[in-house]
Amino acid sequence: MTPSLDTPVVIAGAGPVGLICALALAQSGVPCILIEAEPTLTHDLRAGTFHPPTLEMLERVGVTEDMLALGIRVPVWQSWDMDFGRVADWDLSLLQHDTPYPFRLHLEQHRLTPILYRSLQAYPHASVLFGHRFESMRQHDTHVEIVATTDAGERRFRAAWLIGADGGRSQVRKSAGIEFAGYTWPERYSVISTRHDFAEQGFRENAYISDPTQWVAVFKMPDERPPGLWRMTLPVGAEVSEAEALAGPYAQHAIRRLTRDAPSTQYPLVHQSIYNVHQRVAVTMRAHRVLLAGDSAHVNNPLGGFGLNSGIHDAVSVGEMLAKVVKGEAPDTLLDLYHRQRHTVNVEYVQTLSVRNKHNLEVKDPVERAQRIRDLQAISADSVKAREYLLNSSMINSIRRASTIA
């Protein structure tokens, strides 16, 4: 006999992925409880690029219009080389017949989560409990018992299903005993935000600059108001201490490498951080009544902007499929399809392309580097080849691939 449940679905983690899972379920009429360890929505500065199919999916949960009002549309992004200069411009208007959103959208992750949270508050059968840290769970044939800790002590929930959207260190994944296969890169990545306008150097709102010593990726972000700010991502070798990487002189030097200004030139800094980078995929995204989505299921280097986007693709997919299962419109084997689709495209596209992007930016052999420049120039100059390139880099092909998996 099935015991009485507190809710059909508990979701751990109130980042974008968890909130979108909850929103997709709530809009389908499925009650859910979302638990979050932090006392409020978090302020994550790393992710902020949204690809065309992601905007299409977010339109299904009704938040794309609000995002467009706040974000920066990026119709063209660029490939550069530190020595050669500008290599190629990638015009996303070539995708105008493939998507209603032929551009990238730049919007900080911490400006998306309030939009999602406000939308979720319109559904009384969905609740968000802050200050509730997921600790453990036990699975049964008919339900999951979940333990969370709060300042007031332990709290328990019974649900038919549990979604882990609690990040790369996912306690849900660990509690379910799911292996997180892969590796950690030896170098760390630094994020530097500055008010310096890189458009003065000819950079578009998104550019990737290859270099055998230290590549750089630049993004213009909307910030709280115009003119916005620029964010740089670059690798930091093991020989550089965290204290040195986070010191002002290190950031100033990194900016001067792009501006070619005099060594005495100083730029306005807004933020600096440093973090470890991983390439890992959970061996399964479903373990009986536990489902994984987003960083809980897969992590990758940020080159290409695939991480948050693929997590959102997970969230919409699992939310829509699980709603059908809960309402009795589909058998729970539909959730095995969720694993097959999302796991496959993460391995085939997200992991493969993000690793390839990293390799292409840091090629050391001068012959290979020169050939790479010629290849990019040839592809970008041919509209047919450029469109095919953009179908991959914009994640449209990954969505199409997922739809072919039965």
Query: Quick check: is 95 in a domain?
Result: no
Joined together, the tokens standing for residue 336 give 């095995």
Residue 35 has pLDDT above 60, yes or no: yes
Q: What is the number of helices (H) and of strands (E) in the chain?
A: 13, 19
Query: Quick check: is 242 in a domain?
Result: no
173 closest CA partner among 215, 205, 137: 137
Beta strand 290-292 with 153-164 is: parallel
Q: What is the C-alpha to C-alpha distance for residues 52 and 105, in angstroms, rounded to an integer?
A: 8
Confidence class of residue 3 from pLDDT cuts 50, 70 and 90? low
- The pTM score is 0.96
Average pLDDT, the chain: 96
Q: What is the C-alpha to C-alpha distance for residues 188 and 367, in angstroms, rounded to an integer?
A: 27
Least confident range from 224-228, 285-289, 326-330: namely 224-228
Q: What is the C-alpha to C-alpha distance for residues 120 and 111, in angstroms, rounded to an integer?
A: 15
At 197, the amino acid letter reads D
Query: Quick check: is 20 in a domain?
Result: yes
Query: Quick check: is 189 in a domain?
Result: no
Task: Give pLDDT, residue 82.
Answer: 97
Residue 1 has pLDDT above 50, yes or no: no
Task: Give pLDDT, residue 2.
Answer: 58
Residue 165: give its domain's CATH number. Answer: 3.50.50.60
Query: Quick check: is 271 in a domain?
Result: no
Q: What is the C-alpha to C-alpha distance for residues 333 and 336, in angstroms, rounded to an integer?
A: 5
CA angle (257, 263, 269) in 5-degree steps:
70
Q: Is the peptide bond before 39 cis (omega within 30 degrees of 0)?
A: no
Residue 333 has pLDDT above 70, yes or no: yes
Query: Quick check: is 259 in a domain?
Result: no
> Average of pLDDT values for 43-72?
93
Task: Give pLDDT, residue 44.
Answer: 75
Residue 47 has pLDDT above 90, yes or no: no
Indicate the Cα dihedral angle 97, 99, 105, 111, nearest 10°: 160
165: containing domain:
7-74+100-182+278-362+380-403
Query: Quick check: is 219 in a domain?
Result: no
Q: How many domains does the chain have?
A: 1
Write out pLDDT tens, residues 84-98: 999 999 999 999 999
Query: Quick check: is 286 in a domain?
Result: yes
DSSP assigned state of 46: S
Q: Name the percent of the chain lying above pLDDT 90.
A: 97
Task: Give pLDDT, residue 43.
Answer: 80
- The DSSP string of 241-260 is -HHHHTSHHHHHHHHHHHH-
- The DSSP string of 222-243 is -TTSTT-EEEEEEEE-TTS-HH
